[in-house]
Amino acid sequence: MKRLNVYLILAIQQLISGATHIVAKAVVTEVDAAVLTFLRTVIASAGLLAITSMRSGRFKIDRGDWGQFALLGFLGVALNQFLYLYGLRFTTAANGALLYASTPAFVLLLSHVLLKERITPKKTTGITIAFVGITIVIFERGIDLSSTYALGNLIILIAVVAWTFAMVLGKRMIIKHGALQTTTAMMTIGAILFSPFGILSTISYPVFHLSPFHWAGILYLAIGTSIVGYVLWYHALGRIEASKVAVFANAQPVVAAILSLIFLDYSLTIGFVTGSIITIGGIVVTQRG
């Protein structure tokens, strides 16, 4: 029953993350990536600190763990969030989703090295199947790997690697401090580390001219993705193996395509249905490994 609850949490998290690709692309096209990252992290940090204070009183982290949280904040926020948004300006949401679908492969290797998780044949097979499925979906929607998008693809790939390290290195902190405390510490320290660059970018930017649409997108990325999405993701990471959590990232582009079908009047095709079924099959095989 507990494992079933974890999978339900991951399913909800993927709905949030799938929408993130659409929202992020829409907003970052018109809003500077550094300003967007700064506003997002400040709002998310304030919200997480308020929630933590209401739930558990004083925010307390052991002195010896602050260095680890500083590393997580740098990797998970300053690098991952900013580079993803910045790279998305130069490439398509589909390309970004495909690159994030490579997360399980990186996590499988890194968790084996750092966490001593076993690389079983079923895990390897499941992740491979899921990646094939998601590649079908992305190519079906049209992926452009021309030189025009090369810079954006490279920047987002660096963001994916940073997020992988944050996931794997954060597992010990999650087990020790819980998902909420870990997310709060990582986001708050990440916001502080990014602040010098973020403040300089925001001072010279016409923030007060942002439209309600822009603010809605910023709030979604801050509250939906960085608070709710991160806490749910880390909650699951504290209960099952990192590689089994990471493979759910393959569902993000599928979810994004479904949301596009509903809200952007996309048409349902055989390629999309086939790729989605293969992706889900790969996730199931990985979970059984």
Quick one: average pLDDT of 199-224?
92
A 10 A CB-CB count for 11 gives 13
* Cβ(159)–Cβ(84) below 8 Å: yes
3-40 pLDDT, tens digit per residue, is 558 888 888 888 888 788 888 888 998 899 999 999 99
Average pLDDT taken over every residue of the chain: 81
* Cβ(174)–Cβ(95) below 8 Å: no
Tell me the whole-structure pTM to 2 decimals.
0.79
121-142 pLDDT, tens digit per residue, is 877 887 788 778 777 766 665 5
Where do runs of H (alpha helix) occur along 89-120?
A: 93-100, 103-114
| DSSP helix/strand/coil, 266 | coil
Question: Quick one: pLDDT band at residue 180, thresholds 50, 70, 90?
Answer: confident
Residues composing the chain: 289
* Cβ(169)–Cβ(71) below 8 Å: yes
* Cβ(264)–Cβ(225) below 8 Å: no
86-126 pLDDT, tens digit per residue, is 988 887 776 677 677 767 777 777 777 777 777 778 778 87
The pLDDT value recorded for residue 34 is 94
The pLDDT value recorded for residue 254 is 72
* Cβ(117)–Cβ(168) below 8 Å: no
| DSSP helix/strand/coil, 61 | coil
Instruction: Please state, in angstroms and rounded to a whole number, the distance separating the CA atoms of residues 183 and 180.
Output: 5
At a CB cut-off of 8 Å and minimum separation 6, what does 264 contact?
A: 22
